[in-house]
Structure 1
Amino acid sequence: MTQHPAPPLPPPKERRRLREAAALTQAQLASQVGVSRETVRAWESGRTSPRGRRRDAYARLLAQLAEPAPSEAAADGAPAPVAAGLPATAPVTGGPPVLAASPPVLTPSQSTRGEDPERGDGPGTGRETGPGDGPETGRGSGPEREPALLPAVAAPARTPAPLTPDQAFDALYAFCAPALVRQAYLLTGRRELARESVERAFQLAWQRWPEVAVDRDPAGWVRAAAYEYALSPWHCFRPRYRHPEPPPANASDRALLDVLLALPPPYRRTLVLYDGVGLGLPETAAETEASTPAAANRLLHAREAVAERLPELSDPAVLHQRLAELASAERLRAARPPAVRGGSERRARFWTRAAIAFTVTLIGATALTLRTAPTRYEPPVPPGETVRGVPPRAAPGPLSERELELRAKLREETVTGPQRLVPEPG
């Protein structure tokens, strides 16, 4: 029986380049091939190689992504395939394109890793692979399905105009803000603080937009800023956050939120990133500024703490589903992108004017000091000296102990002693 040769695959670096050139995240490509995000990361790093039907699907997908761009295809008179239903590249004028971040997460109907909840690919099972995916082993495999490929759609002949910075920022905000508000709510348990954290993070991103626009993961940049603001210990000194907010109406949601808030902030952040957002362990460690073993220990301790109080959540897949349901149960809405940009610009103007006022005040104080300071050296008065036997003029000085006693005695006698006789004129 003759076996067909396996389709060729490009080198690992070329695989990653083709995916980034098509503005696809690892989670989106994994959902198209039918594997997990960790498996795609292993394929792109060269640690493992696909096999079987998934190798064929992966090879066809890469071949489709390697086809000419829309502009080249239009020049040749042939249509070019584009990814339908996926976020397109949002180029910024004057710099490289801003790629869409990881998909919005923490929704009960869709996992952030591009996995099908019915297959048992929960968060925390980030190494779920098929039977022919190399040495990686999953913690619960489901029925194998035929991978879905990207549909080819004829693109317009002309190249689309590049987006302005305002349009690129609004696209990033609309894509990431709803999910970030839910994630911040899981970290803080406060609805208003969650909205404020996301708004402040995007305001900071707009102030540093040239830096964020060229970042490899703009959504991760904003997420890190939102998490840092949400977990800041200084919020306890603000009057508006001294009293707790009303808990969720559902008893199970209240129990889960109490368990999350009882965890230390680093453990809580690690649990939300890995089991909620769906990041891999190295990415979670990098975002929490910890080593990979430290992040793994935090994750294990956090899961143990949750399973100790809520035994039904010992399975990572169930925990991910419950986190998604808890975050989606609250009606959390983010502000509009123009309002966020306007607030960022007002804040920047305020601090700029404050810095100018402080500088002017400092210059004025310096000028006043220079104006009133002496312009020449004034030596101190030297002590008196004896000249030709004439002693120096006595000057008032400190009294000795004997003189102090005598002064005190005279003052007492003046008050209590006999009255003096004063002659009167005749």
Structure 2
Amino acid sequence: MTHDSDTPLPPPKERRRLRQAASLTQAQLAARLGVGREMLHTWESGRATPRGQVGEAYARLLTSLAHPAGDPSAPAAGTAWRTRATAADGAPPGASPPAAPAAAPAPAPVSGPAGAAASVPTGFPAAMPAGADVAPERDSSCGRSRFLTPAQAFDALYAFCAPALVRQAFLLTGRRELARESVERSFQLAWQRWPEVAVDADPAGWVRAAVYEYALSPWHRFRPRHRHPEPPPAVAEDRALLDALLALPPPHRRTLLLYDGVGLDLPETAAETEASTPAAAHRLLHARQAVAARLPHLADPVELHRRLVRTASAERLRAARPPAVRLEGERRARFWTRAAIAFTVALIGATSLTLHTAPTRYEPPVPPGATVRGIPPRAAPGPLSATELTLRAKLRAETAHGPERLVPVPR
């Protein structure tokens, strides 16, 4: 089922016209939304319709293109689709469209012309523009464009994704501290591999996959501080939803959160969970049935999405500052680098010691004895017979003193 966004979408032809009027290519608009160019082409051709948070961001971006900043007049062709959508909701045709829900503060756009970036909902952002480390930023003081440094691009990605990823990790694990730790460790890994993450088609998806893998790791159960559960949410409905989520198997829980929470399509969900599309569909259906069995009022996917967003937003979850995450990532990288160097030096020292103490020439083993022809073997006493053994025992038992036996006396 599709998710109806608060901002309606224009017809496919109007979407293409708005993009061309803004002098944007499909690749540039797709990069701004964090999706592929082929997917944007299917949206403009009418073969597919965006859903979830991606569709909301796409609708708001088209709205910003239809009403540029500083232009009080709005063309009738660009606003007709908004008027029709408002009239369909029961409002008078001439009334202004309802205001969109408040959005969380997002970082400054890192690519494209100013004022054309889509705002990010407060729920679960799905994507981040790719190539942020090489995108120009407008310098208002001199009118020239400068390039973002890797640290600035990383900070923009962290500020864009970290708050929502902490909430998603909390829904996955039910632990606040583990959710924060998962996000920080994943961003530290992203900073260590920043040349790879910066050129990725979906940097936010790269980090999200790392967060989910770390949060759902089975090794956390052996940690001492994870043996006791954390305090549940204060609201009863939130506790019931969190219990229903934690009762699901981890793959089903992850699929449900990606599809009904983040708003990814089924192929994207299957790719991120490393499963086939039919397998992801079965996991989603089973997860929905399990949640609906415990909470019947959440059988509707739209209501389930709203409850997921509200439950995650109700928790006071905060992530560390981007510079602190970068510094911690660099500290960990230095520690493991020094540990690897120390291990390598120890291995080289042990190898050198072995080579120094090992024999330098071949020492043949001592051969067994052999009979030489012409030389008789040395006579040796053989085993005693039964009669000789009896006699020896008798002599040892009798005393050596007395007239019955003569004892030689040395002279």
Q: Same fold (TM over 0.5)?
A: yes
Write the distance in 2 (CA, Å) between the matches of 1:260 and 1:49. Answer: 28
Number of residues of Structure 1 aligned to a counterpart in Structure 2: 322
Correspondence for 1:29: none
Which of 120, 123, 139 lines up with 1:106 in the alignment? 123
Kept in 1: contact 2:123–2:313 (CA 8 A): yes
- State the 1:9 CA deviation: 4.1
Contact 1:384 1:392 in 2 (8 A): no
Q: Which residue of 1 aligns with 2:42?
A: 42
- The 3 A distance-change label for structure 1 pair 18 and 350 is closer
What are the superposed Cα offsets for residues 244-264 of structure 1, whole Å, 9 maximum, x if unpaired? Answer: 212222222111111101111
Match 2:156 to one of 171, 181, 184: 171
Q: CA deviation at 1:20?
A: 3.7
Note the 1:344-383 alignment, pairs <5 A: 344-383=329-368
Structure-1 separation of matches of 2:189 and 2:247: 29
* Cα distance in structure 2, aligned partners of 1:293 and 1:208: 32
Deviations 1:62-83 (A, max 9, x none): 8989xxxxxxxxxxxxxxxxxx
Q: Which amino acid counterpart does residue 42 of structure 1 have in structure 2? A: T
DSSP 3-state at the match of 1:161: strand
Mean CA deviation greater in 379-388 or 181-190: 379-388
Q: State the shift of 1:191 in Å.
A: 0.7
Look up the match of 1:19.
29
RMSD: 4.2
2:258 pairs, out of 254, 273, 287, with 273
Whether contact under 8 Å (1:212, 1:221) holds in the other structure is yes
Contact 1:104-1:175 within 8 A present in 2 as well: no
TM-score by length of 1: 0.65
In 1, distance between residues paired with 2:185 and 2:170? 15
Contact 1:260 / 1:306 at 8 angstroms: preserved in 2?
A: yes
Query: Structure 1 residues 8, 254: closer, same or farther in 2, change over 3 A?
Result: closer
Query: Is 1:90 aligned to residue 100 of structure 2?
Result: no
Residues 247 and 419 (structure 1), Cα distance of their counterparts in 2 relative to 1, 3 Å cut: farther
Letter matched to residue 170 of structure 2: Y
State the Cα distance separating 1:201 from its structure 2 match: 0.3
Unaligned regions of 5+ residues in structure 2, if any? 1-12, 51-57, 70-104, 128-139, 402-406
Decide whether aligned partners of structure 1 residues 372 and 157 sit closer, same or farther in structure 2, where only a CA change above 3 A counts. closer
Which deviates the most, 268-277 or 158-167?
A: 158-167
CA–CA distance in 2 between the matches of 1:358 and 1:308? 54
| Among candidates 280, 294, 298, match of residue 313 of structure 1 | 298
What's the offset of the Cα at 1:419? Answer: 8.1
Task: Give the structure 2 partner of residue 258 of structure 1.
Answer: 243
CA distance in 1, matches of 2:338, 2:268: 39
Q: Which amino acid aligns with 1:298?
A: R
Aligned residue among 285, 307, 325 for 2:310: 325
TM-score with structure 2 setting the length: 0.67
Quick one: distance in 1 between partners of 2:117 and 2:257? 21
Q: Distance in 2 between matches of 1:318 and 1:420?
A: 111
Equivalent residue runs for 1:36-75 within 5 Å: 42-44=42-44, 47=47, 61=65
Residue type of the partner of 1:221? W
Q: Does 1:337 align with 2:322?
A: yes
Distance apart, 1:285 and its partner CA: 1.0
Distance 2:360 2:198 in 1: 55
Higher relative contact order (CA 8 A, sep 6+): 1
CA displacement at 1:385 relative to structure 2: 2.3
8 Å Cα contact 2:171/2:242 also seen in 1: yes
Instruction: Mark the CA change 1:363 to 1:112 in structure 2 (over 3 Å): closer, same or farther.
Output: closer
Q: Tell me if the contact between 1:181 and 1:333 (Cα under 8 Å) persists in the aligned partners.
A: yes
Other structure's SS at 2:241 match:
helix
Of 293, 296, 299, the residue aligned with 2:281 is 296
CA contact 2:106–2:120 (8 Å) conserved in 1: no
Q: Residue 237 of structure 1: CA displacement?
A: 1.4
Structure 1 match to 2:231: 246
3-state secondary structure, aligned to 1:90: coil
SS at match of 1:247: coil
Match of 1:202 among 173, 187, 196: 187
Contact 1:101 1:220 in 2 (8 A): no
